[in-house]
Amino acid sequence: WYQRRVRGQHQKQLIGIIIIMATINIGELLSASIDLAQQAGKLIKDIYFSGDLKIQIKGYTENGVEDPLTQADLKSQQHIVSGLQNRWKDLPIVGEEQVEIPRTDLMPRIDIVPQEKVPDHFKQVPLEDVVVFIDPLDATREFTKGHVHCVITLIGISVKGKPVAGVMYQPFVEPPRTIWGLVGLGVEGIHQKSERDCEGLIIITTASHNNEKVDRAIKKVEHEKLIRAGGAGYKALQIIENNADLYLFPTDGCKLWDTCAPQAILNALGGVLTDSHGREILYFQDSDVHVRDGVVASMKNHEHFIRQINS
């Protein structure tokens, strides 16, 4: 995985007795992230339809499931990181893939999110308090198998360890779709269902990382329907859009770049994403990237679900 270590992160210029610290406007950073996610999505589609994915295997899960990597993952991350660095050269970034970032003249837009709607406390945030978490192509395994409806580019923004803004871009839906959110402003691009065919509780969980711990937790929560799907972002999106009630994955497997953007959007809507014990997930540059105690997400009754899972 890629982590930009910031040199001169504490940029301070002494002028007389005045200390000037580098700051960033979260609305502008979110705008750039939206623009770059959309551009990266086009790269992903172009590579997919070229048929030349250049699949590699990074490793295997504890269940022996392959963890693939494609040139689409790499080029998407290179594009996003390059654009962000061109705008803010000392911006702390944590990305999934370990890849060199080429120099480009790419300069993303910073005017997509209306500035008048950005909360004042997000307009001048110390740069050292901000970290961007990037999953350039969530659901790579499904991508290699042609199940591209699960594929989402995820860019999450944290401030002092808390996820406050996120972008989820779906390149393979028609038309391609951008969901973005900022805590205190709201969420754009979602299609929330007001009615469903299923009246009972719907749980969504992993399609490929199942184990006994996941099965035990599912049995503890009374439900009418169980959905298995790939991609942490895709599963979280089903909660966001009311296609499911509980995203349940109480085991190691997710990383911070999988959950930062979805959690920020859930938070902006009043939803909740925690680990399987109901504890807050923190997003610092030096955090352990593994979400070792799993993920639970819901729009309501979260504490009730946590008690059931741990009973």
- Mean pLDDT, rounded, for 33-62: 95
Decide: 118 and 183 in contact? Cβ < 8 Å.
no
> CA 158 to CA 257: how far, in whole Å?
11
Backbone angle region of 141, left / alpha / beta, with phi > 0 → left and psi within -120 to 50 → alpha:
alpha
* Tokens 């973005």, residue located: 180
Task: List CB contacts of 109: < 8 A, sequence separation 6 or more.
Answer: 31, 32, 34, 35
Share the mean pLDDT of the chain: 93
Q: What is the mean pLDDT of residues 56-63?
A: 83
Q: What is the pTM of this model?
A: 0.93
Sequence-ordered list of residues with C-beta below 8 angstroms from that of 231, at least 6 positions apart, any chain: 138, 139, 142, 150, 151, 152
**The pair of three-digit structure tokens given for residue 277, joined into one six-digit string:** 């014990």
Instruction: Dump pLDDT digits (tens) for 136-146.
Output: 999 999 999 99
Per-residue confidence at 275, pLDDT binned at 50, 70, 90?
very high
- DSSP secondary structure code for residue 290 in this structure: B
What confidence score (pLDDT) does residue 19 get?
61
What pLDDT score does 12 carry?
A: 47
pLDDT of residue 8 exceeding 50, the answer is no
Confidence label for 2 from pLDDT (cuts 50, 70 and 90)? low
Tens of pLDDT, residues 167-177 = 999 999 999 99
Asked if pLDDT for residue 10 goes beyond 50, the answer is: no
What are the start-end ranges of the E strands in the chain?
2-4, 12-15, 18-21, 23-24, 56-60, 66-69, 93-95, 125-126, 130-138, 152-159, 162-170, 177-182, 186-188, 202-206, 225-229, 246-249, 272-274, 295-298
| Whether the predicted pLDDT of 187 surpasses 60 | yes
Q: Does the pLDDT of residue 82 top 90, yes or no?
A: yes
Average of per-residue pLDDT across 292-306: 97
> Is residue 165 predicted with pLDDT exceeding 60?
yes
Q: Residue 15 pLDDT > 50, yes or no?
A: no
Lowest-pLDDT range of 37-46, 154-163, 200-209: 200-209
User: Pairing relation of β-strands 18-21 and 12-15?
Assistant: antiparallel
Q: Is the pLDDT of residue 92 over 90?
A: yes
Q: Could you give the residue numbers annotated as active site? A: 73, 140
Residue 206, classified by CB atoms within 10 Å of its CB into exposed (0-12), middle (13-18) or buried (19+), is: buried
Average pLDDT over residues 62-83: 92
Q: 114-132: per-residue pLDDT in tens?
A: 999 999 999 999 999 999 9
Range among 13-22, 208-217, 298-307 rated most confident: 298-307
Sequence-ordered list of residues with C-beta below 8 angstroms from that of 67, at least 6 positions apart, any chain: 57, 58, 59, 60, 61, 140, 141
Q: What is the pLDDT of residue 9?
A: 45
Q: Read off the pLDDT band of 59 (50, 70, 90).
A: confident
Are residues 9 and 92 in contact, defined by beta-carbon separation less than 8 angstroms?
Answer: yes
Q: 137 — phi, psi (to 5°)?
A: -155, 90
Q: How confident is the model at residue 292 (pLDDT cuts 50, 70, 90)?
A: very high
Three-class SS of 38-94: HHHHHHHHHHHHHCCCCCEEEEECCCCCEEEECHHHHHHHHHHHHHHHHHCCCCCEE
H-helix segments, 154-275: 212-220, 232-240, 256-269
Give the amino acid at 92.
Answer: P
